[in-house]
Copies of this chain bind each other. A is one copy, B any other.
Amino acid sequence: MQRFVNNPDEVVEDTVKGFVKAHSDIVRLADNPRVIAARNAPRAGKVGVVTGGGSGHEPAFIGYTGENMLDAVAVGELFSSPTAKSFYDAIREADGGKGVVCLYGNYAGDNMNVKMAIKLAAKDGIEVATVVANDDVCSASRDEREKRRGVAGEIFMWKVGGAKAAKGASLETVRATAQRAIDNCRSIGVGLGPCTLPAVGHPNFEIAPGTMEVGIGHHGEPGVRVEPLKSAAEIARDMCTIVLDDHDLPEGTEVAVLVSGLGATPLNELYILNDTIESEIVKRGLKIHRTYIGNYFTSLEMIGATLTVMALDDELKELLDTDVRCAAIL
């Protein structure tokens, strides 16, 4: 393992410490050392916005804590859900008396722990609404959308939800707007190389050299097919076909595009993918409002990339374009 780690069992501990040191102008560690809160949270009279998830996806989730974004984030171990207690503590850190919206991804552990956290928060009189992200098109069929996992579309959900909350909207309005944001997102991942949990020491799944996994999940969950590695343009076309066929947007729709590396893919290759992605999107009669390219939602040192396409309306566009201040600046 050619990695920068200390004790492999303390990767999350060390990551969080180094993160808080780097960005102490924006974030703070809560009393619970598995909760990161924005420096300016909670804000009285504002709906709190929280998320949480396993570590190893940096800058997700902690890097999106900050002004006009997330008020608090529950931090899990590598690729594992945060505890119910951590979700609960994140909710408390974010509570400004107007309720808290928890915008998280559709994973069994997160679903269970958020539910328990909501019960704990209810005892404190904190009302919690939730949106469960399910933008990963390859993780279940279109008829079973509720089974799909949440991936990089969550970033758009947080940005929209965070901006709406900052404008002073009610809990129900923030929830509904964040729900609309993620409903408007479709994502796909393609894996060219696996990743290794430092404490395990070998990859937890395989991608044979010369092949690729189309539809891979953020923890190496199998996709829809394994096939010989194609050219960037062919891969980009396949990604667009899968995402846009599922999306089925009317011509003229404005979209936001997010191309994220999975950790070990260099930025120039994401630009190469984007060259074809943009052409394909335009070919469908869609209009690109804004493109984000970089390591926005990763999977340790996985080689690969994800594509997220979000359909916009006037309000979503305005909310997405609201300035934020967080470590993973958008």
Contacts and interface: CB of A to CB of B under 8 A. Distances in A.
Q: Identify whether the interface residues of A are mostly helix, strand, loop, or mixed.
A: mixed
Given A14-B272, A21-B278, A278-B21, A266 B58 contact: yes
How large, as a class, is the contact surface on chain A?
Answer: 35 or more
Given A4-B192, A263-B266, A301-B265, A271 B231 contact: no
Contacts of A257: 22
Given A5-B232, A192-B2, A267 B298 contact: yes
Each complex incorporates copies of this chain amounting to 2
Contact of A21 (B5, B274, B300): B274
A56 interface: yes
A271 B232 contact: no
A183 B106 CA distance: 50
Interface of A: 2-6, 11, 14-19, 21-23, 25, 55-56, 58-59, 63, 192-193, 207, 209, 212, 229, 231-233, 235, 257, 259, 263-278, 290-291, 293-295, 298, 300-301, 303, 305, 327, 329
26 contacts: A3-B265, A3-B303, A4-B192, A4-B235, A14-B232, A16-B271, A17-B271, A18-B278, A19-B271, A19-B293, A21-B275, A21-B291, A22-B259, A22-B271, A22-B293, A55-B268, A58-B267, A58-B268, A63-B267, A264-B265, A267-B295, A268-B300, A293-B327, A294-B295, A301-B303, A329-B329
